[in-house]
Structure 1
Amino acid sequence: MTSRPPHTISVRVYYEDTDLAGVVYYANYLRFYERGRSEALRDLGIDQVAMKAAGLVFVVRSFALDYLVPARFDDLLEIRTGIGALRGASLEMTQEVLRDGETLNRATARIACMTVEGRPARLPADLRAALAPERG
């Protein structure tokens, strides 16, 4: 098996994303990362609306973020998202924000599969297959 390349989206930094110093307010990276994860799942064919209709949702169980360099107003950022370890009822997603090839920060999200009632649920076979590394 080979690891699939990370999924990438572009995000422009708007004035509303910054603090008084003109740098991205730290909590706004969570929104950028959420967009990256949502688009990565969509591109893998995972329909989260259909999942919810079937009684399952993904929730962030834990999130670790390492800030290295600030992003600033009007920067064009690249959000990269990779699929890490798959477990019975969760998966790990690795992410990073880059500007012109320079890594600004890195994050790891542990995503749990839950029922809409809030109980842990095993990843169904079709989701596990979509998330699994590509075969080489």
Structure 2
Amino acid sequence: MYSRTTAVEIQFGDCDPAGIVYYPNYFRFFDNATAGLLSAVFAMHKRNWLEHYGILGIPMVDTGARFIRPSSFGDVVEIRSEIAELGRSSFGVKHSLLRDGELAIEAHEKRVWVVKGEDGGIRSAPLPDEVRRLLGQDA
């Protein structure tokens, strides 16, 4: 399945008073890494692929993380993101955050391909064949 690595420099504002990354910020990093992964595989910016595929977004329906080592202001971490599974209308993403080459966090997301529903809300839609093919390829 497709994978991508993103480098992130930890900023002062990412940290809590103890000087380590405040954990919700990791989920912001992972969300950006997922958007970057999809933008790379689709060869277009997120705002363009949303329009191109006629979707409202890819909301997260499940997430979790195992925190192994903290990161601090000034650290540069790598986030290795990969498509872990493809469902009918959903896909899973696995993130491995490394600091100094060592695993610091393992995280996962499950996201759903959504379109506008007839009632004006959102509803899931099957992953298009093109998307399935692109996400399923080896990097």
TM-score, normalization: structure 2? 0.87
* Structure 1 position 106 matched with structure 2 position 106: yes
Structure 2 unaligned regions, length at least 5: none
Asked if the contact 1:46/1:127 (under 8 Å) is kept, the reply is: no
Give the number of equivalent residue pairs: 132
Per the alignment, do residues 22 and 104 of structure 1 end up closer, same or farther by CA in structure 2, a change over 3 Å counting?
same
Structure 1 unaligned regions, length at least 5: none
* Structure 1 position 129 matched with structure 2 position 137: no
Misfit runs of 4+, over 2 Å: 46-55
Please give the alpha-carbon distance, in whole angstroms, between the structure 2 residues aligned to 1:17 and 1:50: 28
Matched with 1:36 is: 33
Which has more helix, going by share of residues? 2
TM-score, normalization: structure 1? 0.89
Q: CA RMSD in A?
A: 1.7
Please give the alpha-carbon distance, in whole angstroms, between the structure 1 residues aligned to 2:49 and 2:38: 12
Matched with 2:42 is: 45
The structural deviation recorded for 1:102 is: 0.7
* Structure 1 position 10 matched with structure 2 position 14: no
CA offsets, 1:54-80, max 9 Å, x none?
431211111011111110111001011
The 3-state SS of whatever aligns with 1:58 is: coil
The 3-state SS of whatever aligns with 1:44 is: helix
Matched with 2:17 is: 20
